Chains A and B, each alone.
Chain A
Amino acid sequence: MKTFFNGPLWNLYKRELAFYFNAPTAYVVMVVFLLIAGYLFAIPLFLVNQSTLAGFLDTAPLLLTFLAPAVTMRLFAEEFKSGTAELLFALPAREWEIIAAKLAAALTIFALTLAFTLVYPAILLMLGDLDKGALACGYLGLFMTGLLLCSAGLFASALTKSQVTAFITGFLAAFVFFMAGKLTPYVPAPLAPVADFIGFEAHLENMARGVLDTRDLLYYFSVSALFLFLTRLKLQTMKAD
């Protein structure tokens, strides 16, 4: 019987995920991320004696701009380099299924890494009080940021045979979305709202405050969709020229 669990999407996803767990890169990336995040969390707790997530949440955007391209750099670049793209594209799977499966696998690793950081609010909950609604909303914001940055990273990976180039391109793309918000005070006044909207930080801040606005969700979904569309376009042009 034909179900989702023996369809191409699920099979592709399973294999991509297995590759992450078979190679050391994913573990290294996760450990480094968690070490830095843990340090940033621990400093106010022990040095300033404050029970707050602020230290972690303030630096999370920059950390994520490194984490996402590190997770996605392999996805297409490695297939092009080893020639297995030839096998992949000869399989009876649609382009969007291949793209969606790769993105889903990267997001799974991303979400798993984020899930480990839930230890910090758990500690804070034991020590004091925390707005659980805002916390959940903030984590949703972090995940949505991951969706955006992983989509950009996936596109970067489809542009090259080299994982290093894919990482750098993916990071630069992520950095643009990171910096755009920070530039708001410096751009001409009419452009300020545009810069603010393009940067993900303003949207993430809204969600971290516990505000779930459709505008923010729309922002994340539309920018991610744009990158996924560009990825599909890239695969199609590769086939055509």
Chain B
Amino acid sequence: MIKTENLERRYGPTVAVAGVSFEINAGEVAGFLGPNGAGKTTTMRMLAGVLSPSSGRAEIHGLNVEERSLECRRLVGYLPESNPLYEEMEVTAFLKWNGAMRGLAGAELEAAVSAAVGKCGLAQAAGKDIGELSKGYRQRVGIANAILHNPPVLLLDEPTSGLDPNQAQEVRALIGELRKEKTIMLSTHILPEAQSVCDRIMIIAGGKIAADAKTADLMACAQGGHKFVLTLANADDSAVRQALLALPGAACCEYEEKAGEAVFTVSSENDLRAAIFRTAAGNNWPVLGLERRTASLEDIFRRLTQ
């Protein structure tokens, strides 16, 4: 379980995280979304015990990360943002060392290392120096290191960054497997990934939580509005705009010219496709395309973070 209360972090006069409160329960995968510099990494670093909060509190399994730092660090598996690794160590040696640092020894350590190597598909790279590995393999080493000691809480800062689509899919599958028994918090830029992996999405902007909801609820909320994109061969844009705005429920209408074609975008709560078609036909406008777009996570993200 991860819990924060008014967690705040300043770097000198700059406020990186401005009073963030949330609670992530066991078995939950929470996606932490936000533009660069929104405070995602700073929040995760505070939870990992690498950075002290300026004020407010953070708890891992009910333990304050400041007061019970050592115990908290034992409960957490952490994949830092840029995935720094000891380049000169062999993969297995690195994992063994980390396991030993986390109190594993003997047969238990061997089993933990081989389990992590297996889960992360590292068998082929096990004997190599980390410095020789490709970015994808390095990322796997970072993830293997985070899950090595079977921690109940996982903090993964951009776990799929730098991976090709296949590798990213493997990592998502791995997170899916781990979700049953763990509390997972992951940050990402890739919105469809958050949508497919996370039960819950938190959007952070300017150091504040801008949205925090179950993925399904957030999607339902997003789907409340429709956008209709009408493409005409040529048209008097002000006349078209007027006609479109006169339709029942039409909220706003944007016009832009794309490759000689006139593109109008109308937002509305209602399904306007039939009405738009009739208007165009009635006015003898040559319709090249008519499309309905439902708002996506991307729209919500953009709306909240811009």
Please list the residues of chain A having a beta carbon within 8 angstroms of any beta carbon in chain B.
2, 6, 8, 11-12, 15, 19, 22-23, 82-87, 89-94, 239-241
Contact = CB atoms under 8 A, between A and B. Distances in A.
A94 B70 contact: yes
Interface of B: 11-12, 45, 48-52, 70-71, 73-74, 76, 78, 80, 82, 84-88, 97-98, 100-103, 105, 145
A92 B74 contact: yes
Contacts of B52: 239-240
A91 B84 contact: no
A86 B145 CA distance: 13
B98 to A, nearest CB: 7
A15 B73 CA distance: 20
B98 A239 contact: no
Task: Tell me what chain A mostly uses at the interface: helix, strand, loop, or mixed.
Answer: helix
25 contacts: A6-B100, A8-B101, A11-B97, A11-B101, A23-B88, A82-B87, A83-B82, A84-B84, A84-B85, A84-B86, A86-B45, A86-B80, A87-B80, A87-B85, A89-B49, A89-B50, A90-B49, A90-B76, A90-B78, A90-B80, A91-B102, A92-B102, A239-B50, A239-B52, A241-B11
Nearest to B157: A86
Given A8-B101, A11-B101, A91-B98, 8 more contacts: A87-B85, A87-B86, A89-B50, A90-B48, A90-B50, A90-B78, A239-B50, A241-B12
A15 B88 CA distance: 11
A15 B97 contact: yes
A241 B73 CA distance: 20
A206 to B, nearest CB: 41
Contacts of B101: 8, 11-12, 91-93
Contacts of B97: 11, 15
Lowest 9 CB-CB distances: which A-B pairs, in order? A83-B84, A92-B73, A86-B80, A84-B84, A92-B74, A6-B105, A240-B52, A90-B78, A11-B100
A13 B88 CA distance: 16
A82 B130 CA distance: 13
B71 to A, nearest CB: 8
B88 A19 contact: yes
Nearest to B80: A86
A84 B71 CA distance: 21
Contacts of B74: 92
The interface centre, meaning the residue of A23, A87, A93, A240 with most chain B CB atoms within 10 A of its CB, is A87
A240 B88 CA distance: 30
A99 to B, nearest CB: 15
Contacts of B82: 83
Contacts of A87: 80, 84-86, 145
A94 B68 CA distance: 12
B88 A22 contact: yes
A92 B70 contact: yes
Nearest to A6: B105
Contacts of A90: 48-50, 73, 76, 78, 80
Nearest to B84: A83
Nearest to B53: A240
A91 B73 contact: yes
A8 to B, nearest CB: 6
Given A90-B73, A91-B101, A94-B70, A82 B84 contact: yes
Contacts of A92: 70-71, 73-74, 101-103
Nearest to A23: B88
Nearest to A10: B100
A90 to B, nearest CB: 5
B115 to A, nearest CB: 19
A93 B97 CA distance: 13
Contacts of B50: 86, 89-90, 239
Nearest to B102: A92
A2 B103 CA distance: 8
Contacts of B87: 82
A21 to B, nearest CB: 11
Contacts of A12: 101
A15 B97 CA distance: 8
